Structure 1
């Protein structure tokens, strides 16, 4: 008899869980278990690891029901605990978080097999993610994929001088004040004309209207804090 795919769904909102359950029911005949907190999710995975293990996990990142007794207070902590214990389970993040810096950090550091957005996720997309994960592949919803691609491109274009300029820019009312502050790797001070040229290129790269917009977009992309 073929083994049914076992899926664990973790979210602290029952309506979200019901939506995922309905989508999964449309996709296939799965054995689905749900819980509303990360501690219980981890214990379920651990308990069944050697006997009827879960194959897939769908988890949110943020949980509002954490207390002082909670050990794993969010999806990121749950994913870390799973990976630290080498549990054999494919992980999908299904969340409302679209902030580029957080998305980038989750994907870069935790490497989930899928990243889906609650607001744009339907049965077709969940089904596609399940298929990809079971094939040991990765799936990021289109918006998330675009954010990661853009962040990677920007990151490649960013050098130390660009980072210095972006960090210093909010601290000075005039661009001219940056002369004497921005340095090359060898410690040589960069002339104002070169700083202005760099700023112009950065505005083009980040599609910024002005320097204030440039700093905001750099923060949104997680290039600077």
Structure 2
């Protein structure tokens, strides 16, 4: 089992860098880089892969304050998606104030992150537990999110539904979604099944129409 030796942290608040650094020291991780922009993290990760010295772990926040600098990656989610294309083996720990369960479930199931720690009173202990779990090849999420996989209400929405909602949010109609799903080998992909699934989602969220469905999905952090 490979151990974490090289870490890059994407976090725009410098004071948090210090806390993370002290935690990494406890695990004797000496190779650690800190950046305040997702773009810089992506460039460094890409270069490390090219130099045959890849990072073992990316720790990233999800939200980054906007300033004068123009960037390609606006948030941690964009960064994670791009990084996965550069280094399939890199472990990812999200460290954020985001606590919407649907959103966090999406990160684990769709983006395949390894750990999720909520910023808060006990985040230092949580971070230590997360890194220990990753070193052991396990997944980890904050104790405050312990009902993530046990809440039956949330279990009724699966990855297929999330992808379908994202397609609707992007403006695709049912016929177009069917073609995209068939091309991606996503099942079921028939127009009739997609229509039925959308109607079920409308009933589930008590949405009046597709626009209302998308709005409610966004409010809940599903998309």
TM, length-normalised to structure 1: 0.64
> Residues 152 and 169 of structure 1: is their aligned pair in 2 closer, same or farther, counting only changes over 3 Å?
closer
Task: Give 2:129's aligned residue.
Answer: 128
Structure 2 unaligned spans of 5+ = 159-195, 210-215
Name whichever of 47-56 and 88-97 sits farther off.
Answer: 47-56
**1:221 Cα deviation from its structure 2 partner:** 7.7
Secondary structure of the corresponding residue to residue 93 of structure 1: strand
Task: Give 2:114's aligned residue.
Answer: 113
Task: Give 2:170's aligned residue.
Answer: none
Larger Rg computed on CA atoms: 1
Residues 102 and 154, structure 2, Cα contact 8 Å, conserved in 1? no
TM, length-normalised to structure 2: 0.65
Name whichever of 120-129 and 11-20 sits farther off.
Answer: 120-129
Q: Indicate yes or no: 2:94 matched with 1:93.
A: yes
Residues 58 and 94, structure 1, Cα contact 8 Å, conserved in 2? yes
> Residues 72 and 121 of structure 1: is their aligned pair in 2 closer, same or farther, counting only changes over 3 Å?
farther
Residues 202 and 208, structure 2, Cα contact 8 Å, conserved in 1? no
Task: Give 1:196's aligned residue.
Answer: none
Name whichever of 87-96 and 162-171 sits farther off.
Answer: 162-171
How many Å separate the matches in 1 of 2:70 and 2:4?
A: 34
Secondary structure of the corresponding residue to residue 7 of structure 1: strand
Secondary structure of the corresponding residue to residue 24 of structure 2: helix
How many Å separate the matches in 2 of 1:66 and 1:90?
A: 28
Secondary structure of the corresponding residue to residue 138 of structure 2: coil
